[in-house]
Each structure stands twice: as C-alpha cells, then as structure tokens.
Amino acid sequence: MAEKVFKYDESSIKSLDWKEHIRLRPGMYIGKLGDGSAMDDGIYVLLKETIDNCIDEHTMGYGKNIDIEVTDHSARVRDYGRGIPLGKLVECVSKINTGGKYDTSAFQKSVGLNGVGTKAVNALSTHFKVQAWRDGKTKVADFLNGELKEQTKEIKSPEPNGTYVEFTPDEKVFRNFRFIPEFVENQIWNYCYLNAGLNINFNGKKFLSKDGLLDLLKRKSNPEEIRYPIIHLKGEDIEVAFTHDNQYGEEYYSFVNGQHTTQGGTHLNAFKEAMVKTLRDFYKKDFDINDIRASIIAAVSVRVQEPVFESQTKTKLGSQFVSEGGASMRSFVGDFLTKELDNFLHKNPSVADALLQRITQSERERKELSGIRKLANERAKKANLHNKKLRDCRIHLDEDKKDENVLNTTLFITEGDSASGSITKSRDVETQAVFSLRGKPLNCFGLTKKIVYENEEFNLLQHALNIEEGLENLRYNKVVIATDADVDGMHIRLLLLTFFLQFFPELVKNGHVYILETPLFRVRDKKETFYCYNENEKQGAINKLGGKPEITRFKGLGEISPEEFANFIGDDIRLNPIILKPDMTIQSLLEYYMGKNTPVRQDFIIKNLRMEKDLVEEKELVMA
C-alpha cells in the first residue's frame, strides 16, 4: 500500500501571534488544563501567575498588603507595589517576552523570569482587565479573548500605587471549571509562610504568618502526634523546618523564590541528602536512609538568582547552582544543615534524644517487616498484576511512553466485574487504567502496615500505584474511587479512604485522591438525552423536554453501558477531590468514622438515618 503523501511547501509554514500560540499550546505555559478539581489545574496556575507579580513587588520592598477576591468563575487581585509603568501597561500583559524581570538588578530573586505570566492569563481568559496606579496617575486596559478592546488615557488618581488584575478563565479552554476555595486558601497560606509579615486579604478573611515555615508545619502537623518540637532553622536565602510524627510515609513542602515546587527538584534533593548525612554524623551511626526519613514532615525554602525550572509552571527546580559563579545547590544546602542542625542538636539534647528514638523505632519496624515485604512482593509478581487486577494504560505498558504525560494519568478503583468491565471498555486506553476490587476491602483502621503486605488486595493496590517507598514514583496522578452511589458504594469509599489515610496519607494530602461522580438519572425523548447527577438536574431536564420523557434511574455503575460511560470519564468527567481541612487531623477523622461508636457519632448517625433510609428505599424501588 502506497504511503500517503502530505503537501509541504511555503503554504505549510504558519506564524502565530502571541495569544494564538498560547491558546494552541496552553500546556507549554500552564501545564495541564483541568476543571479546578485538582490543585495543580490550569485555573490555579493563572491565579498564581497573577499573584506572583504582587509577591515580587513585596519581596523588593514595595507593598505589604494584597487583596484577593475569587468567585466560582473569576478572580480579582490588587497589590500595593510600584504599579506597572503606565506607558507599558498594555505591552506588559499582551506582548510576549516583555516585562521588567529581565533586569536582574530590579528583580534579583524573582519568581517569574520569562515574561510570560500575565500574557498567558490574558490569552486564556474571556475577559481580562488590568489597571495600574503610579505617582498620582492611573490607566486601565480591557481585553476580550486576548484582544485589546479599550485603554484609557492616563488620568489623575488619589489611589495608592499598585496594580489591579481581574480575569475570567475561558470555558472553551477550561471545561466546566470552578475555583475551589480550599485550594486557593492553600496557595495563599504558602505565600504568607514564605513572606512573613505580608498581609493577604482573601474573600474578606485575613491571612498572615509571623514565623514562616514554622507556622506552615504547625498547620500541617498534629501537635499530639509529633515526636519532638519542630526544628526551625533560618539563614541567608534558606529556611528549613522539620519534625517527625507517627504517620506512615514522608511529607515535604519545598519552595524556590516563593514558588511552591510541588515536584521538588535540586533543592529538595539536597535537603534530603544533607539531613541524612548530618544525622548520621551527629549520632555516629550509619542509619538506613529510610529509617531517618520515615514519618518526617519537612519544609525547605531557598532563594536563588535566575532559577531554572523544568517547565513554565515552575513545579520542579532544575538549578544546580544558587547564583552565577556561586556555590552548588548541594553544597549550599549541605553546608547550612551541617552547621545549623548539628549546633541545634548539641544545644537541645532532649530533642536529639527524641529524634534518635523515632529513628530507632523506624529501624525496628522496617526489620520486622522485611521478611513479610519480600514474600508480598513475590506474591504480587505471581499474581500477574497487569492481567488480573489491573488494566493498565499504554503510557505504562509502552517503555518508550513511560515518562510521557504522567500528569494526565488516572487510575479508577472500582468493585465488581460489571462496573470494571464498563469502565475498561469506555476508558481512554492511553492514560486511564482500571483496578478491580473483589468485594469490600478490609477495615484497616488501627492496624499496622503489616496488613498492607498480608492482605492481597492492599498489597496489589500499593504495587499498582508504586507508592511503597513514597510518592516519588507514583504511577498515576489521579486516583479515582469509582463506586455505586448507594449505601454499599459509600461504605467501599470509606474503607478505601481509610486505607489511604492510614498508610499513605501523603497521597491524599497532595491532592491525588478523588471520588467519581456518575449520573443518577437518564432523561430522554426521541430527540434529546440528558444525564442528571441529582434531583434538581433531573427536574430541569424534564422541564426542558416537556411531556412525559423516559426516565431511567441507574442502579449502579454496571448498569451504564460502555458507550454512555465514555461520556462520564472523558472531557466532561466530574470529580470530587478529597480535601483535608486543616483543623481536622487524620487520627481524629478516622476515629470518628471508623472507631468505636462515640456519643457524637451516634448522634450523627441518628440525624442521618432518614437520608440513609431514603437511599435504601429508592434502591429497592428501582430494583423492583
């Protein structure tokens, strides 16, 4: 068969303007898109790019306050820095590679250096407005879909210097999007921790940190669970804080020039390496790396000149040096910890003793588990994981694609042959995988990690995710619990969440776990079909169709055909992220839902009996 010949001549060459290129290749500028259900979705990157400019002004010593207002579909940000120079207001938000951060004398250790940030926000928004105030004058520019629609002349204004930006992300780019306040709050807290003394007003609530990373760890840890007071060390252009608790896993928060590097990088690697070396030297014992790092919760922040990130979204630092001609990142972090941590432990022997006890406990637990882990790993291989329990995606099955698009991978965890069959047949085989449970999982609350290896389902699930040694090699960015919307399905959800929170809490804390929403009703006539996720949507569909449409109540995931299921796990997928509130510790959460019946929980059950009874009655009615 002859190969198809594609025309390639002068007509094939195209030049795109700044906004066309950003809209055509948004992933180059903001990473993945998403609908706002994940903390690293594109709409939060747009917000971050806007706030980053305010933070740079504050870092340079201009402006101690930032006002932020976010609704479901729009954002407004006002700082009190120097304000964008009025003569370049339009260019700064619409002309690529234009900005003040190429002048390193003005922005020595800036977050954004590529002149892209607000241009991407502008290009990917239906409406974008910017206003600047400088030295008693102001100017406004309005854009629609990246096109300048109006700019005012410079006029006098009594307002203080600064910049105001408002934008509405484009629904054609971010389908069915919504800003989730908890994710925005988390972003804002990080800004405050990294800029002690900065006041941020968000939706009428004030955010302020006085002690930086110490405050971060206080908020992220349970004071009843930590083994010793948080160690907080500060130096020029570096700050670290850490402690150990009783949870499984490792938990890290890393930052560069105020940017939350969610994927770590050279600075975090240097911290991990330096901490292990310093503690080995201090205790004069060659501890296993895993014993030192087990159950740690730590934060590290550095400031460097001209930081090099591995992508425009700046989630992973690639810089090998802290400045041109300066120390390597490894020696910079290592020298700081070698001196400061060693001094701290000598001055605080009670903390040093408690830290040693935590390390030796981890050593003991690891040795006790070593034999069981070996047998469990052998069983996992014999179980032929990829053929029996897991229907993997091609990115992982193809060695050449293994490192491609990992941010877009999803694992659906479901129960029963019919449900897993429907998802398997309708999924995107490139990026979506399915793990099939056999019945309800074990309630593992209060059990030790030994059960993870002794229980076949748990052992195979941790191998499918590749999280035995932490999240560094997590195979799927999204872990989606897909169960029926009935009492049994809710129970399975709760048991799986207990498993993750008990043994792999960082998986939940880092925003990887979701609940899949599937429609409860199908409402249709001969011309149109509506899939409805609740009673209100069902009634709305009935009103739109009029007459007496056919109404189907889906009894479970297995009742939805693969052809229909493809609509619910594709571009229009609805996911509910599992978000842990900062005032709720994992231990108290699990005790409440999975522990012995306390009077508080009994009261909760009694108040919700009516709702559960309705669910059961509705299920029985449909089945009849």
Residue 437 φ/ψ, nearest 5 degrees? -85, 155
C-alpha closest to that of 565 among 549, 576, 554: 554
Q: What is the mean pLDDT of residues 586-598?
A: 77
For residue 323, what pLDDT is reported?
76
pLDDT by residue (tens digit) across 38-58? 898 999 999 999 999 999 899
Fold assignment, 213-367: Ribosomal Protein S5; domain 2 (3.30.230)
Q: Is the pLDDT of residue 605 over 70?
A: no
Residue with more model confidence, 307 or 386: 307
For residue 11, what pLDDT is reported?
67
433 neighbors 412 (Cβ within 8 angstroms): yes
Measured N-to-C along each axis, helices 349-382 and 329-347 cross at an angle, to the nearest 10 degrees, of 130
For residue 7, what pLDDT is reported?
67
Specify the residue for token string 């990115």. 395
DSSP-derived secondary structure for 312-324: TT--SB--SBSST
Residue with more model confidence, 526 or 315: 526
d(CA 523, CA 567): 15
| Least confidently predicted of 132-136, 398-402, 442-446 | 398-402
Q: What is the mean pLDDT of residues 540-550?
A: 91
How far is C-alpha 359 from the geometric centre of its chain's CA atoms? 29
For residue 418, what pLDDT is reported?
80
462 neighbors 452 (Cβ within 8 angstroms): yes
pLDDT band at 557 (very low <50, low <70, confident <90, very high): confident
The mean of the pLDDT values for the chain is: 86
Specify the residue for token string 């110490």. 214
d(CA 187, CA 44): 9
pLDDT band at 23 (very low <50, low <70, confident <90, very high): confident
For residue 349, what pLDDT is reported?
97
pLDDT band at 341 (very low <50, low <70, confident <90, very high): very high
**Cβ neighbours of residue 423 closer than 8 Å, sequence gap 6 or more:** 412, 414, 434, 482, 557, 565, 569
Q: Please tell me what DSSP assigns to residue 500.
A: H
Residue 119 φ/ψ, nearest 5 degrees? -65, -40
C-alpha closest to that of 573 among 480, 488, 443, 492: 480
For residue 5, what pLDDT is reported?
59
Share of the chain above pLDDT 90, in %: 56
pLDDT band at 184 (very low <50, low <70, confident <90, very high): very high
For residue 345, what pLDDT is reported?
97
C-alpha closest to that of 143 among 171, 160, 118, 122: 122
For residue 95, what pLDDT is reported?
81
C-alpha closest to that of 197 among 14, 63, 85: 63
For residue 353, what pLDDT is reported?
98
d(CA 416, CA 423): 11
The strand pair at 478-482 and 410-415 is best described as: parallel
From the number of C-beta atoms within 10 Å of its C-beta (0-12, 13-18, 19+), residue 291 rates as buried
pLDDT by residue (tens digit) across 388-397? 788 999 887 6
Q: Is the pLDDT of residue 111 over 90?
A: no
Superfamily of domain 18-207: Histidine kinase-like ATPase, C-terminal domain (3.30.565.10)
Share of the chain above pLDDT 70, in %: 87
CA distances from 148 to 36, 68, 96, 134, 445 (A): 27, 24, 15, 21, 57
pLDDT band at 322 (very low <50, low <70, confident <90, very high): confident
Q: How long is the chain?
A: 624
From the number of C-beta atoms within 10 Å of its C-beta (0-12, 13-18, 19+), residue 188 rates as buried
| Least confidently predicted of 66-80, 454-468, 553-567 | 553-567
267 neighbors 329 (Cβ within 8 angstroms): yes
pLDDT by residue (tens digit) across 469-495? 888 889 999 999 999 878 888 889 999
For residue 188, what pLDDT is reported?
96
pLDDT by residue (tens digit) across 426-438? 999 999 999 999 8
Q: Is the pLDDT of residue 316 over 60?
A: yes
Joined tokens for residue 25: 């290749």
pLDDT band at 439 (very low <50, low <70, confident <90, very high): confident
Q: What is the mean pLDDT of residues 349-373?
A: 94
As a whole number of Å, the CA-based R_g of the chain is 27
Measured N-to-C along each axis, helices 349-382 and 266-283 cross at an angle, to the nearest 10 degrees, of 120
Residue with more model confidence, 24 or 137: 137
For residue 351, what pLDDT is reported?
98
**Cβ neighbours of residue 311 closer than 8 Å, sequence gap 6 or more:** 31
Q: Is the pLDDT of residue 201 over 80?
A: yes
How far apart are the two ends of the chain, measured CA to CA in Å? 57
Joined tokens for residue 598: 């306390």
518 neighbors 485 (Cβ within 8 angstroms): yes
Specify the residue for token string 């804080």. 241
Residue 299 φ/ψ, nearest 5 degrees? -140, 140
Selected from 3.40.50.670, 3.20.20.10, 2.30.30.30, 3.65.10.10, the CATH number assigned to the domain covering 383-518+554-597 reads 3.40.50.670
From the number of C-beta atoms within 10 Å of its C-beta (0-12, 13-18, 19+), residue 325 rates as exposed
C-alpha closest to that of 165 among 268, 40, 68: 68
C-alpha closest to that of 240 among 250, 232, 229, 230: 232
590 neighbors 248 (Cβ within 8 angstroms): no
pLDDT band at 230 (very low <50, low <70, confident <90, very high): very high
The strand pair at 147-151 and 410-415 is best described as: unpaired
pLDDT by residue (tens digit) across 64-108? 999 999 999 999 999 999 999 999 999 999 887 555 554 444 445
For residue 98, what pLDDT is reported?
55
Measured N-to-C along each axis, helices 599-623 and 487-503 cross at an angle, to the nearest 10 degrees, of 140
For residue 106, what pLDDT is reported?
43
For residue 99, what pLDDT is reported?
55
SS3 402: coil
Beta strands in 416-557 (DSSP E): 432-437, 478-482, 513-517, 521-524, 529-532, 550-553
C-alpha closest to that of 209 among 272, 255, 269, 264: 255
pLDDT band at 157 (very low <50, low <70, confident <90, very high): very high
452 neighbors 591 (Cβ within 8 angstroms): no
Residue with more model confidence, 140 or 595: 140
Domain residue extents for the chain: 18-207, 213-367, 383-518+554-597
Joined tokens for residue 575: 């996911």
Joined tokens for residue 99: 């900005």
361 neighbors 234 (Cβ within 8 angstroms): no
137 neighbors 86 (Cβ within 8 angstroms): yes
Residue with more model confidence, 608 or 611: 608
For residue 616, what pLDDT is reported?
43
